[in-house]
Amino acid sequence: MCKGKITETITAKGLTTLDDVRAHTKASASCGSCTGLVEQLMTLTLGDRYNPAAVASMCGCTDLGHDDVRRLIKAKELKTIPAVMQELEWKTSCGCAKCRPALNYYLVCDWPDEYADDYQSRFINERVHANIQKDGTYSVVPRMWGGQTSAKELRAIADVVDRFEIPTVKVTGGQRIDMLGIRKEDLPAVWAELGKAGFVSGHAYAKGLRTVKTCVGSDWCRFGTQDSTGLGVRIEKFMWGSWTPAKVKMAVSGCPRNCAEATCKDVGVICVESGYEIHFAGAAGLDIKGTEVLGLVATEEEVLEHIVALVQMYREQGRYLERIYKWAKRIGYDEVRRQILEDADRRKAYYGRFVHSQKFAQVDPWSERVSGADKHEFRPMATISLEAAQ
């Protein structure tokens, strides 16, 4: 997509909003990393008629931005999607594919013990707990705590791959094994087999805690200063199942050589002789950004308290689909340090709210479905022979 085509389309079609330009030109419409450039072209073409600083509405269904919607959900104690839409005067009768998943997340986060998760408002991956692929098949990633596995687990995976004739097996960037090309109807049976070996969902499809990568740490490495593997497993066991505004990837490295690449993660830990250096707000995707340092703590317990509080702060404040590095930049790295590192009372309050919400979140979705939940998702409604239709 070239510059001339974009400015020409803006003029010819009378476009005035970023969403219009996205719809008509597809520029900035997929990964969004060229959004700044497209906005410059809009300013150039439209002059005062385009204000990039204006608060962007959540979607065409409302004029309210994400922050206002989040604030009003709490202030007005709105606890269902219809209640939000009614009270905040949504312009459509049942929202759209942009606002519904956002509202569902905000309600899950804000009312963990009261809100009934609306699966029809979740993107397909989260609705069926697998990742949709371009041909309509799915991929499945079982959880491997801290990236560790065993002969028993690997054997179970090999058996599943053989039995279901899974065409591709791939090691992921988060130290997991991905099985690709599984038919939707086979998902519950695949999960059942994996479950027998002790596997649970790896949430590779979730706007939630994905993975905690680790290095082998002081167990094996001659440079390891702490048990980075054990700490990574402990963090993952504590935080799995939590929903977040966007995906959360973590890592724990056993020394500053940083083999687990913790300094480009949403949250990372670098072990040192004197304790644990906690990092946050890294990125290694659409943007590449080294982490900011939160601070140094002495014990694993303190690591857990700080990391959990930081993630809870992000869960409560982040805009849907906004990664930690964007949220932290928006509110200020020092503000994160002030609330999480310096204000112990506030940190403990965030920690407490995360722990409360985990009581309702830590249910393995695969075993639920193996036991019969959401049966309709995985079976055709009917199979009609060609003759029957004649």
Partner 1 sequence: MNAITQSWVEIGVLDDIPRRGARCVRYGEMTIAVFRTADDRVFALEDRCPHQNGPLSQGIVHDGCVTCPLHNWVISLESGEAQGADEGATAAFPVKVEGNSVLLALGEGR
Among 126-134, 147-155, 315-323, 344-352, the segment contacting partner 1 (CB under 8 A): 126-134
Give whichever of 25 and 317 is closer to partner 1, judged by the CB atom: 25
Q: How far is the CB of 369 from partner 1 (least distance, A)?
A: 15
Among 37-45, 121-129, 220-228, 356-364, the segment contacting partner 1 (CB under 8 A): 121-129
The 3-state secondary structure of 220-281 reads HCCCCCCCHHHHHHHHHHHHCCCECCCCEEEEEECCCCCCCCHHHCCEEEEEECCEEEEEEC
Pattern 367-386, partner 1, x by CB under 8 A: ---------x---xxxxxxx
Beta strands in 85-200 (DSSP E): 131-132, 138-140, 168-171, 177-182
Buried b (16+ CB within 10 A) or exposed e, 322-350: bbbbbbbeeeeeeebbebbbeeeeebeeb
Number of residues that bind partner 1 (CB under 8 A): 30
Strand ranges of the sheet holding 138-140, from the earlier edge strand across to the other edge: 131-132, 138-140, 177-182, 168-171
Answer yes or no whether residue 121 interacts with partner 1 by CB under 8 A.
yes
Answer yes or no whether residue 286 interacts with partner 1 by CB under 8 A.
no
With CA atoms as reference, report the closest residue to 251 among 239, 263, 242, 262.
262
Answer yes or no whether residue 355 interacts with partner 1 by CB under 8 A.
no
Among 131-139, 140-148, 272-280, 341-349, the segment contacting partner 1 (CB under 8 A): 131-139
Q: How far is the CB of 164 from partner 1 (least distance, A)?
A: 19
Answer yes or no whether residue 129 interacts with partner 1 by CB under 8 A.
no
Identify the residue among 35, 46, 123, 295 touching partner 1 (CB under 8 A): 123
Answer yes or no whether residue 24 interacts with partner 1 by CB under 8 A.
yes
Rounded distance, CA 249 to CA 239, Å? 11
Identify the residue among 12, 54, 97, 288 touching partner 1 (CB under 8 A): 97
Q: How far is the CB of 59 from partner 1 (least distance, A)?
A: 10
Measured distance between the N- and C-terminal CA atoms of the chain, rounded to whole angstroms: 48
Q: How far is the CB of 199 from partner 1 (least distance, A)?
A: 24
Give whichever of 118 and 153 is closer to partner 1, judged by the CB atom: 118
> Which structure tokens are listed for 21?
């330009």
SS3 334: helix
Among 34-42, 127-135, 318-326, 350-358, the segment contacting partner 1 (CB under 8 A): 127-135
SS3 319: coil
Answer yes or no whether residue 48 interacts with partner 1 by CB under 8 A.
no
CB atoms near residue 288 (< 10 Å): 9
Binding site for partner 1 (CB under 8 A): 23-24, 30, 92-97, 100-101, 120-121, 123-124, 128, 132, 134, 136, 376, 380-386, 388-390
